[in-house]
Amino acid sequence: MLIEAGGDSVQEVVSNFMNSSQPVFFRDSNGQQYLIIHGSPAQDGAMYFDGGAAGSIRHDELGDWMRTQGYDPGATKVIACHGGQIMTLNSPGITPAFDYTGQLEIAAPNDGSGDFLSIRGASARYALSKEGRGKVDIDGIKVWIEYPKGSTRSGKGKDGKEWSRKMECDYGRIMGTVGADGDAIDMFLGGNLDADKVFIVDQLNSDGDFDEHKCVMGCDTLKQAKELYLSNYPKDWKCGKVTEMNISEFKKWLKKGDKKVPASSE
């Protein structure tokens, strides 16, 4: 079932349907068409959306699904939601209404809108919104804190089984980047953001092959970085090879590194 919503503005419609379980189409007073759709991140890096009667839709199939509903993906801006939050969206042929390289214009709950916060040290988390979410700038590396420490991250695996984990540290995405999975590169933040080190984990899939990169800041040693990373996964989770860089080297890797191959192989 699709909902074709009415309202005075996209802000109003998002506020009303942020937690709806059904896809919502809306056209504003200027004729711009929007799709508000609700999804869950999977451990394989994909996003699965609720397509109503069509069932679960993978993020890279979203454009085809929109056409079956009579909507032009090229003319429709998409707002992806999960757990009352606006999420990033990188789908072929899809135009997101917002992404991590721009400003979130909707004053929806926990959207982190506003100026970047330049932060250093352990006070970083408390410089964010009261929910712990927001945008932070750490030595020029802009991170959207999507899941603060203590929150629950959930999704659905390739096998269709739902999973959830309590976050042992702040977790988010590096804005303006695209990783191996087509989404922004993920970042775990430890407690010492004065540390001039970044650790890149070559995350593995269930077959033991390279999946995507997970980055860790706020740790002083490789051992601490591995422990922080593994603390956010099941006990039997395997940690791939980890590459240590200083901030300057990491910025160069973000700009020029090949995100389709393990960082340890470069």
Six-digit token string for 16: 């009303």
**Residues 98-130: pLDDT tens digits?**
543 322 322 222 333 333 333 333 233 333 444
Coil vs helix vs strand at 61:
helix
Question: In 3-state terms, what secondary structure has residue 230?
Answer: helix
- What is the pTM (predicted TM-score) of this model? 0.55
Best-predicted range by mean pLDDT among 10-14, 105-109, 249-253? 249-253
Q: In sequence order, which residues have a C-beta less than 8 Å from that of residue 167 and are 6 or more positions away?
A: 147, 148, 149, 150, 151, 152, 153, 232
C-alpha to C-alpha distance for 129 and 124, rounded to whole angstroms: 11
Select the CATH number that applies to the domain covering 117-259 from these four: 3.90.80, 1.10.3470, 3.40.50, 3.30.565. Answer: 3.90.80
Q: Which of 43-47, 128-132, 133-137, 226-230 has the highest mean pLDDT?
A: 226-230
Lowest mean pLDDT, pick from 57-61, 124-128, 158-162: 124-128
Between 14 and 76, name the one with better pLDDT. 76
Query: What is the band of 176 on the pLDDT scale with cuts at 50, 70, 90?
Result: confident
Average of per-residue pLDDT across 46-72 = 76
Helices in the chain by DSSP H: which ranges? 10-17, 62-68, 222-230, 247-256
State the residue for tokens 């990188």.
90
Do strands 134-138 and 117-118 pair parallel, antiparallel, or not at all (unpaired)?
Answer: parallel
Q: Where are the domains of the chain?
A: 3-96, 117-259
